[in-house]
Amino acid sequence: MAKRLRSTAGWLRWLTPGLEIKRWLLLLMLAELVLVLGAAYALKELYQTATLPYQFYYITLQFWPYWARATVFGILGVGLLAFSYLKLTQSVLGPFLPGTNMGSIVEVIHAFRLRGRGPRIVAIGGGTGMSALLRGLKTYTSNLSAILTVADDGGSSGRLRDEYRVLPPGDFRQCLIALADAEPLMKQLFDHRFTEGSLNGHSFGNLFIMAMADVTGNFEHALRESGKVLAVKGT
C-alpha cells in the first residue's frame, strides 16, 4: 500500500507548477484529440460507403451498446497512451540519467527548473573558501559567476605557473570541482596527487586544465571547455 502511494505521489509530481511540462502535455493531448477526430470522420465515411468483412462486427464490438463500446475503447486508449508516454520518457531520458526511475527523473527536472530561476550571484575571492561557498550556492541557483584571485604560488600550481607562464590552476580546479554535477567522484579524481616520478606533487586536475589549455590554445578557453566536460552549474 505504501509503495502504491509513493508511486502515485511520484506521478503527481509531474503536475508541480514550474516544471514547464503541463502546457506541452495539454497541447499534445489537444493535437491527439484533433488527430482522433480526423480519423473518426474518415472511418465513419469508410464504414458507410465500403463493404467491410464480417469480422469487423466483432472487432468493433457492435453487439454492445454505444456507451459500452465508447467506455471500453476509451479506457484502453488512455491506458495505452499512458504506458507509451512512460516508456517514451524512459527511453529518451534513460541514457542521460542512468540508474534513475520516474520519481528521480521528475526530481531532477524540478531541481533544474528551480535552480534556473534562482538569483544571479557573483562571488569574488579565492582559496578554499570560494569553492566551499560555490558548493553551497549551486544547490539554490545555477546563475553563478565566480571571479577568482590568482595569488596561489605554492605546490603544483606554483610549479606549473613558473614552468609554463600561466595562471596558477589550483583555485580554478577547486571551483570547477565545486560546481561539477558529479562532484564527489570528480573531487577525488581532480584532487588526486601523484607521489612518484616527475609528476610527484602534481594533482590530476591541474594537469587536466593545463592539457586542455594546450589543446584549446588559451587558458580561458580551457576553463570554459573543462566546465563543459564536468557539466558545471555556473561560470
Segment 199-228, tens digit of pLDDT:
787 888 888 888 898 888 888 888 888 888
130 exposure class (CB count in 10 Å sphere: 0-12, 13-18, 19+): buried
The predicted pLDDT at position 145 comes to 85
pTM above 0.75, yes or no: no
- Average pLDDT of the chain, as a whole number: 78
| pLDDT tens per residue, range 40-51 | 888 778 777 777
Measured CA angle at 11 (ends 96, 34), to 5 deg: 90
Q: In which band, very low, low, confident or very high, does the pLDDT at 104 lie, cut at 50, 70 and 90?
A: low
From the list 182, 176, 187, the residue with the least C-alpha distance to 225 is 176
The predicted pLDDT at position 61 comes to 76
**96: Cα separation from own chain's centroid:** 7
The predicted pLDDT at position 3 comes to 54
The predicted pLDDT at position 97 comes to 61
User: Residue 177 CB: number of other CB atoms within 10 A?
Assistant: 23
| pLDDT tens per residue, range 149-166 | 877 666 777 788 878 788
The H-or-E segment that residue 79 falls in is: helix 66-93
Q: In which band, very low, low, confident or very high, does the pLDDT at 88 lie, cut at 50, 70 and 90?
A: confident
